[in-house]
Amino acid sequence: MKLKLHVWRQPTKDQPGAMKDYVVEGISEHMSFLEMMDTLNEQLMNKGEEPVAFDHDCREGICGMCSMVINGVPHGGHKGVTVCQLHMRHFKDGDAIFIEPWRAKAFPVLRDLVVDRQAFDRIVAAGGYVSVATGGAPDANALPIPKKEADLAMDAAACIGCGACVAACKNASAMLFVAAKASHLGHLPQGEVERYERAKNMAMQMDAEGFGTCSNLSQCEAVCPKEISVRVIAEFNRDLMKAQLKG
């Protein structure tokens, strides 16, 4: 395939960026989107040009590093798929593809398609922990947990922290990410103790980082590669209300 790419290029975080046009050839339908980007970079380096900087690590949909807005949709718009799992068979020869970084005040662009997502780490550090002494790692079935609670915790734990929810939200809200992390711990016995205090601390840090308020339009759920439900947001809001009542 031969494709026309419109890629956001930005040398540094302090310099302005702009879309730049490229033509990439020799693309197989069996390639992943990141392999296509590798091919583009090979062609650029062969011409003596700077390659496009983009985040990647596992390339298996696990780490959450790959972060691109493709044709206006985070991760490309295919349900339950990260950029590294998106294959070129979803595109046609001659297609024009627009590739941009996440767009959010709290995710400043560092270079090209790479953004700084350390805000997520600080939110987790603000409340995503348990202080209950558990000792050594117990056997998996040593601590009884109702199946419903275990399932809810595992569903929330599927979040890979990619930030697609932020990129999709018109208010750049991080509520789906924050609520998923809080729900993961809140449904476990060790995390139940600090559940409401944790919700309050994480919400305060989220606001301090510059994320917007929840739009209630569920764009976050639509683009989440792990298909996390906005149910966790409703649960998180209930925890915040209880935290306020507790003072």
pLDDT at 55: 96
Indicate the average pLDDT of the chain. Answer: 94
Q: Single out the residue in 57, 77, 110 at which a domain terminates.
A: 110
pLDDT category at 186 given cuts 50, 70, 90 is very high
pLDDT at 140: 63
Section 17-36 average pLDDT: 97
Handedness of CA 44, 46, 50, 54 (dihedral sign): positive
Same domain, yes or no: 140 and 237: yes
Contact 165, 67 (CB under 8 A): no
Question: Which CATH number do you get for residue 156?
Answer: 1.10.1060.10
pLDDT category at 3 given cuts 50, 70, 90 is very high
Same domain, yes or no: 166 and 191: yes
Same domain, yes or no: 165 and 204: yes
Same domain, yes or no: 80 and 195: no
Report how far residue 10's alpha carbon sits from residue 17's, in angstroms, rounded to the nearest whole number. 4
Number of domains the chain contains: 2
- For the chain, list the strands marked E by DSSP: 3-9, 18-24, 69-70, 73-74, 96-100, 109-111, 114-115
Q: Closest by alpha carbon to 167, among 127, 125, 109? A: 109
96-153 pLDDT per residue, tens: 999 999 999 999 999 999 999 999 999 999 987 777 776 776 676 677 889 999 999 9
Same domain, yes or no: 57 and 29: yes
pLDDT category at 5 given cuts 50, 70, 90 is very high
Same domain, yes or no: 95 and 121: no
64-105 pLDDT per residue, tens: 999 999 999 999 999 999 999 999 999 999 999 999 999 999
Same domain, yes or no: 86 and 60: yes
Question: Which CATH number do you get for residue 30?
Answer: 3.10.20.30
Same domain, yes or no: 125 and 105: no
> What does pTM read for this prediction?
0.92
Q: Single out the residue in 91, 110, 129 at which a domain terminates.
A: 110
Domain of 195, in residue numbers: 117-246
Same domain, yes or no: 145 and 242: yes
Contact 84, 33 (CB under 8 A): yes
Report how far residue 222's alpha carbon sits from residue 157's, in angstroms, rounded to the nearest whole number. 18
Q: Closest by alpha carbon to 121, among 196, 177, 51, 53? A: 177
Same domain, yes or no: 22 and 101: yes
Same domain, yes or no: 127 and 75: no
Q: How many helices (H) and strands (E) does the chain have?
A: 9, 7
